[in-house]
Amino acid sequence: MNVAIIGSGGREHAIAYKIKESKQLDNLFIIPGNPGTKLLGKNVSLDVVNHQVIIEFCENNKIDLVVIGPEIPLVDGLADSLREKGINVFGPNKNAAEIEGDKAFSKELMEKYKIPTASFKVFEKNNFNEAIKYLNEISYPTVIKASGLAAGKGVAICETKNDAEEYINQCFNESLFGNSGETLVIEEFLQGEEASIFAITDGDNFVLLPAAQDHKRRFENDKGPNTGGMGAYAPAPLVTEEILNRISQKVIIPTLEAMKSEGRKYNGCLYAGLMIDDGEPSVVEFNCRFGDPETQVVLPIIEGDFLQLLSSVAKGEIDKTSITVTNKHAITVVAASEGYPGNYNKGMEISGIENAENENVMVFHAGTKNEDDVLKTNGGRVLNVTAISCTSLSNAKENAYEAMEKINFTGKVYRTDISNKAL
Domain boundaries, the chain: 2-93, 119-188, 193-325, 329-413
Across the range 70-90, mean pLDDT stands at 98
Contact 308, 298 (CB under 8 A): no
What confidence tens digit (pLDDT) does each residue in 372-389 have? 999 999 999 999 999 999
**Helices 306-314 and 10-19, packing angle to 10 deg:** 100
Classified by CATH at the fold level, domain 329-413 comes out as Glycinamide Ribonucleotide Synthetase; Chain A, domain 4 (3.90.600)
What confidence tens digit (pLDDT) does each residue in 85-127 have? 999 999 999 999 999 999 999 999 999 999 999 999 999 999 9
pLDDT band at residue 340 under the 50/70/90 scheme? very high
What confidence tens digit (pLDDT) does each residue in 208-240 have? 999 999 999 999 999 998 888 999 999 999 999
Across the range 162-179, mean pLDDT stands at 95
Contact 82, 54 (CB under 8 A): yes
**What's the whole-number average pLDDT of the chain?**
97
Contact 388, 14 (CB under 8 A): no
User: What pLDDT, on the 0 to 100 scale, is given for residue 226?
Assistant: 84
Domain 119-188 has CATH 3.40.50.1110: no
From CA 142, how far away is CA 278, in angstroms rounded? Answer: 20
Classified by CATH at the fold level, domain 2-93 comes out as Rossmann fold (3.40.50)
Across the range 285-299, mean pLDDT stands at 97
Choice between 225 and 22, residue whose per-residue pLDDT is larger: 22
The arrangement of secondary structure in 193-325, i.e. its CATH architecture, is: 2-Layer Sandwich (3.30)
Across the range 142-149, mean pLDDT stands at 95
From CA 297, how far away is CA 246, in angstroms rounded? Answer: 23
